Amino acid sequence: MPMKLDQVLAVMETLMHAEYAVEVLYRACASEWQEDREFWLHMASDEAKHAHNIEEMMAIVSGRPELFQAGRSFSIVAINAFMDGVHSSISRIEARDVTMLNMLCIARDIENSLIESKYAEIMKTKDREFLTLANEIDTDTLGHKRWIN
């Protein structure tokens, strides 16, 4: 059964919080590994931009709902589990219980996750503003994958 608009907006809000959680994780990495600080800060900045893009996308959908249909389904439960993993990684960094190599593997897994992919498929629309914001996230994430690998 397709999700209703309010359900999609709730998923988008949860995805926004997930992007902010990843930003906090990458900022923790920047603090822990000073030699790679700029790399992690750039990643964190992109994650903050993604959260902001999602917030703008939500406003567009709310303002012009007739232009949108629910697209790809995301589970709020799965997104929350993803965020639990991100918070766990932050705790491990703070406890100095993770190496830089391990953190790069974690970051690779984050960037390859379903949570971090195909934002343009959340809603079916031809709205250029929405699609531009979604495609920015997808393009940045592809760049992150290249940087990490």
pLDDT tens string for the chain (149 positions)?
456 888 889 999 999 999 999 999 999 999 999 999 999 999 999 999 999 999 999 999 999 999 998 888 888 999 999 999 999 999 999 999 999 999 999 999 998 886 666 787 888 899 999 999 999 998 898 888 888 87
Position 146 scores a pLDDT of 84
- Please give the pLDDT value at position 62: 94
CA proximity to 13, closest of 54, 60, 49: 54
Grouping H, G, I as helix, E, B as strand and the rest as coil, residue 98 is coil
Residue 114, pLDDT score: 67
pTM of the model: 0.91
Q: Are 107 and 43 in contact, with CB atoms under 8 Å apart?
A: yes
Please check whether residue 136 is in contact with residue 49, taking contact to mean a CB–CB distance below 8 angstroms.
Answer: yes
**Neighbouring C-beta atoms of residue 126, cutoff 10 Å:** 8
